[in-house]
Structure 1
Amino acid sequence: MSSVYLVRHGQAGTRDSYDSLSDLGRRQSRLLGEYFASQRIEFTHAYAGALSRQQQTAVEVSRAYAHAGLSFPEVVVEKGWDEFNLDQIYRDIAPRLCEEDSEFRSDYETMREEVKASAGVQDAEVHRRWRPCDTKLVEAWIGGHHAYRGETWDQFRERVTACRLKLGETQRDANIVIFTSATPAAIWAGLALAISDDRVRRLAAVLRNTSYTVLGLRGEELRLFSFNEVPHLRVPELRTHR
């Protein structure tokens, strides 16, 4: 059975410029690499999604291995591990929710005002907290209740699930690390546990930045060995969700 380490990317940027690691996100990623190296975890394969924050996390981990004098496999970019496009979902679905739901509209408008007021301030609360309007938006997207021009939830889930076929091409007893995002990692954990889409969403919501989730893979069989581990983040101020 092969081991698959699903790593969520480090803390990213602000809401209006999210796809790049913050200074803290780079530190979290370096600490993860140093921890893996200290445990002498030898990866046979490494993958990352095509998003900048995912690839930047991979770079920091790889550098930590090099600094420790250990080898690290070349990182293969695989778009199947990309997160869903929250910005596009907001553009398409938020206007309809504003018409239907006064609470959503109020929270969404407040959030937009706070984003404008916090320009250039990475640690502003608006950038680091998942809001009720975020939850309602994602629930509406998953439910498919509104016309949407982008990737649907079902298409997204199928894309992430299909990555299993490519991993199945690796040799037996491989040690694979994948730099991805919260929802793809939660989808894979959900496959192992056979849980509903709503529970997958709830799993994604609790994943910390640079946490790793370990699964066993043999053919079509998936087993969940651990979830949301952050032994490298020893103090509370290093542990973030956003």
Structure 2
Amino acid sequence: MAELVIVRHGQAAFGSDNYDRLSDLGRRQARAVAAHLRRTGWVPDRMVTGTLDRQVETLAEMGFDGTTERHAGFNEYDFHDLLNTRFGGQAPEPVMQDRKTHFRTLRDTILEWQQDHIAGAAESWGEFRGRVADALGFATDTDARRVLVVSSGGVIGQIVASTLGAPDPMMMELNLQVKNSSLHRFIFSRGRMMLAEFNATPHFDAAPDLLSYS
């Protein structure tokens, strides 16, 4: 049996012109989760990220030695595209700038997307599900015993939901719970996947000021 640990990227720059970069807090979160893994003796022998800057930067801040692989299937769904498409080309400013409004609207938008009600989106729900499954297969098709993946909340929500055989809407319920730099641990062997840990943040126990969701 081998272990797959998926870490959500550190906090990104919500509301900025370029969301796809880590904030100062996000960098501290990445270093903290890496320090926790080292303290527990968990050092990866394979590392994979998506291709988004905030994912790549998170793994770089974690500072593990070794080669890093990338698979675009671990990239987050394009929430800017989905929101803009839903609102006919441009989401209202409060949806993009106010956190509470943003996540309430995003939840409703994803539920519509899952039912193929967001016509014209750059990626369909079926395409998202398929590429996440491909990325997971890529990461676990290995002789490595400890695989570290850095990904994003929606992807993590989908992997957890599919592993548990949960219905599609559960993906978004899980997505909205996922904390920045949280740990999600799976056991895998010969195509089988079992969830062992979800949304763990022991690295925040002594530093609660590091906690963030977006």
TM-score > 0.5 by shorter chain: yes
Aligned to 2:199: 228
Aligned to 2:106: 134
- Say yes or no: does 1:154 pair with 2:126: yes
Any conservation in 2 of the 1:191–1:222 contact (CA below 8 Å)? no
TM-score calculated relative to the size of structure 1: 0.81
TM-score calculated relative to the size of structure 2: 0.91
3-state DSSP class of the match of 1:19? coil
**Change in CA separation of 1:129 and 1:136 when aligned onto 2, cut-off 3 Å:** closer
Aligned to 1:180: 151
3-state DSSP class of the match of 1:216? strand
Any conservation in 1 of the 2:9–2:55 contact (CA below 8 Å)? yes
* 1:169 Cα deviation after fit: 2.8
* 1:34 Cα deviation after fit: 1.1
**Change in CA separation of 1:154 and 1:196 when aligned onto 2, cut-off 3 Å:** same
- Say yes or no: does 1:5 pair with 2:5: yes
Aligned to 2:94: 110
| Cα deviation code 1:26-82 (max 9, x no counterpart) | 0000111111112221211000000000000000112xx4xxxxxx32111111100
Unaligned runs of 5+ in 2: none
* 1:159 Cα deviation after fit: 0.4
**Change in CA separation of 1:93 and 1:228 when aligned onto 2, cut-off 3 Å:** same
Aligned to 2:46: 45
**Change in CA separation of 1:131 and 1:189 when aligned onto 2, cut-off 3 Å:** closer
- Say yes or no: does 1:196 pair with 2:167: yes
**Change in CA separation of 1:224 and 1:206 when aligned onto 2, cut-off 3 Å:** same
* 1:14 Cα deviation after fit: 2.4
* 1:129 Cα deviation after fit: 7.1
**Change in CA separation of 1:86 and 1:193 when aligned onto 2, cut-off 3 Å:** same
- Say yes or no: does 1:77 pair with 2:73: no
Task: Give me the CA root mean square deviation.
Answer: 2.0
Aligned to 1:22: 23
**Identical pairs, percent:** 24
* 1:95 Cα deviation after fit: 2.2
> In 1, distance between residues paired with 2:202 and 2:24?
20
Unaligned runs of 5+ in 1: 66-71, 99-104, 116-125
* 1:225 Cα deviation after fit: 0.3
Any conservation in 1 of the 2:11–2:213 contact (CA below 8 Å)? yes
